[in-house]
Amino acid sequence: MSAQSFSIQRDINENKLAVSFRLLMGLYLIIPLCLLIKWVDGWFWGGYLLTHLPSSPTHYLLFQILFGTPHIVASAILLASNSEYVHFYKNKILAMTAFIIVFFGIGSLFIPYKVLYLITASWTVYHVLKQQHGIGKGVCRLPAWAFYLLLWLSVAAGIFIYVGIFLKNSLDAQQSEWIRQIAATLTALLVVASIASQRQVQTTFGKFFMWGNTLLIVSSFYLYTQQYYFLAILIPRLVHDATAYIFYVTHDYNKHHRQPRNWLYQYAARCNVHVFIVLPVLSFLLAFLLQAYGDELVNFITQTLFGTEIYKAITLGLLGYLALMHYYTESFVWSAGSPLRQYIRFKL
């Protein structure tokens, strides 16, 4: 992995990296790629991928290791390894931790599982799409009404697509059809709203970015109806996660490349490990170890010491906590005026 692999542009004068909006837009090429894969599979491969790609939520462990969990772990490492960030956001982190324990921990004893699942699913979809629309806001310069109209239509449609995929095994035929029809209606409204809103965008590039966010939903809905569930989830997940890593690595490079300022990058410098690969490699490695072996290790320890086991202590407990905390902290740590934001700049 290198600077070029991230395609982040260097500002020679200031010797800093800048996040390129064109690079971020380039991530949306996953949309035509996945559509092409689907069409080629139907035309030439006899639906081989349709029958062999994961089609059930229980099959998504590899998907989570590759796409879902690593960037969540990376964001936790980024915050925890910089003591000034922990101190700055200490009260918010403690308050959110208490809320997670009370609502999702103690609350799980009283609140039905599906209700908690739908709340978490909705928050997940909102988090994924809010990031992309938030970045697009700086490019498209939409008025507030258009921005929130597109955002909330995207989130609403995304929630029903998500539910239609991940809860499909627990829905009867009529419920599945209702979910599909609601998702179709919301997706159609999103397209209409996008057509109406594009007149508010002054630049051609801004229009492309706006439609890129709309097509995240349109393409996912299409693949969902065609039962290519893996590809339907892959599109927004890859765009979101890759975007997050671009921000994380840009931040770490601009903060640590000249003089490492925390223990992690000081140790990496002594080992001659380049700044660009520290966080991606560490987060993917930890995500793999936690997902693959975390529960077994905890159960071995608790069984040995206390003669009991803790159900999914890592994959549901720790990683669930990190995911919820990630959704919360990412809503403000990159905002203007935050200590992290000073290390991020943009280029077209």
Q: Would the pLDDT of 43 be above 90? A: yes
Q: Which residue has the tokens 């070029």?
A: 4
What integer pLDDT is reported at residue 105 of this predicted model?
82
Model confidence, pTM? 0.90
What span, in angstroms and rounded, lies between the C-alpha atoms of 54 and 228? 9
CB 183 within 8 A of CB 224: yes
Which pair of tokens denotes residue 109?
Answer: 């004893």
Q: List the strands of the sheet with 346-347, edge to edge.
A: 9-11, 16-20, 346-347
Which pair of tokens denotes residue 103?
Answer: 């609502």
What integer pLDDT is reported at residue 12 of this predicted model?
36
Which pair of tokens denotes residue 11?
Answer: 């500002």
Q: Would the pLDDT of 93 be above 70? A: yes
Mean per-residue pLDDT for 191-219? 95
Per-residue confidence band for 307, with pLDDT thresholds at 50, 70 and 90: confident
Segments making up each domain of the chain, as ranges: 3-347
Q: Would the pLDDT of 25 be above 80? A: yes
Mean per-residue pLDDT for 186-199? 96
Nearest residue to 245 (alpha-carbon basis) of 144, 330, 155, 310: 330
What span, in angstroms and rounded, lies between the C-alpha atoms of 126 and 145? 18
Residues 319-343: pLDDT tens digits?
999 999 999 999 999 988 899 998 9
DSSP state of 142: -
Amino acid identity, residue 34?
A: C
Residues 1-20: pLDDT tens digits?
334 334 444 443 444 889 99
Q: What percent of the chain has pLDDT over 90?
A: 66
The helix (H) or strand (E) run that includes residue 11 is: strand 9-11
